[in-house]
Structure 1
Amino acid sequence: MKVDAFFEGGGILGISFIGAYKALTDHGIYIDKAIGISCGAILATLITAGFSANELITLLNVYKDFSFLKQKTQTSKRNYIGKPLSLLLNKGIYDSYIIEKFIDKTLKQKKISTFGDVMSLGESKLKMIAADFTNKRMLLLPDDLPLYGYDPMEFKIAKAIRMSCAIPFFYTPYELKSTHKSNYIIDGGVIRNIPTSVINKNQELSKLTLRFKIKGSRNKWFNSFKDIQNTLKYNKDNTSYEKHIIINTDGRLKITDFEVSREQIIYLYREGYKAVYQFIKHELL
């Protein structure tokens, strides 16, 4: 059975999506098109690139934790005034480039680099959402890249993920340059009420689409960006094809707790698996 999938954000809690993906494939359910926000964009990308659930589990076991994703900017490394100064000058404490570097290295395992590598019949099977803070609008990648003068076929997926994962004030925003202008791109999680149909160019959903959400994963700082959220206008979804899967966590981990223990990683994985198993048991069987 083939479905489309929408993975919302959640920072380090997104490890649970790997468990969810494993549960799907264990029950013969495979993902065709995928869209994601923030950490959800990472999982959507790895699935589209051809990583199996077992390969992602292996990848998960390579790392003791994910603290390497917290690489301070040069400014924030200064004693005492480093962090506030970096917020002022760099608009973030940690350098978002480390995300791009990590994803680019991982995708090379599958010989994937640009959106052109995941195109089918002229459309990308992978999409992700970021927020253009400069112009106060949602950014759908790769579809909206021509608005900024970029060819989607040649644009690196790792850069797009960096945009979608740039948690405000935590990571530095991505500077997307267009003619005579710099546009600062931040985490797509600041945008509320994004319809699932965005995966299908806002057309009615044509197949079962599973939307994954991690309960309690919204960052408190995201509420500061309502001016971006309120600009979005979309048609209503075709809910007959849309199913939501909520992954519950105990609330003890924050989305930026990248120094997770092995026990916490296993816990998140199991919660994702359990959520999908229960969904299949009660909704599909």
Structure 2
Amino acid sequence: MNKKLKNPPRDVSWGLRLNLLFGGFFNQLGWFFFGFGMIQVWVFGINADYLEYHKFFEQPIESLGTVTGVVAERDSFRYSYEMNIDGTVHRGSALSNQKHDVGHKVVVYHFIKNPQWSEIHTRGVYRGIPFTIAWGLSIVPMIGLIFIFFSILRGKKSIFLVTNGNETTGKLIDTEATSMRVNKQRVYKYTFEFKDDLGNTQQAIAKTHLRHIFSNNEEAILYHPLRPNQSIVVDHLPGNPRVNDKGELEANVAETILYSLVPGLAIFGHGTVLFYILLA
């Protein structure tokens, strides 16, 4: 970065904000894990046998219910039913291979404390995917959410420093190979040393597998005006922003679209599914 940034506060465009919040390898990896993993959660989690989960805490009892609706689904039927328990009507839904007509009486398994968890007790009942297996798959989107959480925290810190940070120049004092690899390339830890406004020596650290980013021994640093131990190396910011003629960092439009694609699809897709489930 050759041009100098103007003095803070600086304007941060929405494109640059998106780059800082969603950019970076681990951020994108987190969104991929979350987006792909949630597909499995919707597919298998919805069809999980929740009664098996509740049986850890309470044994089910039997009550008489009435079929209120029938929908054919491939090799089975989805039944809607209702039952009267102590004067309160409770409704449920279950899959079964056995044919029942609307108005038929059926035996329903349910719990005293949680009667909303129930199923028709008949031969050929489809109990669904074991609960532990179905929801064990949630570990994939959970890993993704952990990546996303810390990446967004780092992105918010970067937005603050780009807006309000003091600019200085840091000198590369150490390059250390880490045990991590990205795309079969070794990740390196770069340590830069700089002096803050009070003349105290501080350090800024950046980790990347893109070794060409730090081809110079000196790099532009932005640090917190009150907590100078919080800093970022400008050339390490996601999206490779550049300083415009106004002295502000400007996002690369192509990078913004690229970084927003996976998070956008994940949020829109799973948000739509959640909205549909809540309405249904």
TM-score (norm 2): 0.22
Give the TM-score normalised by the residue count of structure 1.
Answer: 0.22
Bigger share in strand:
2
Structure number with the higher helix fraction is 1
Q: Which has the larger radius of gyration?
A: 2
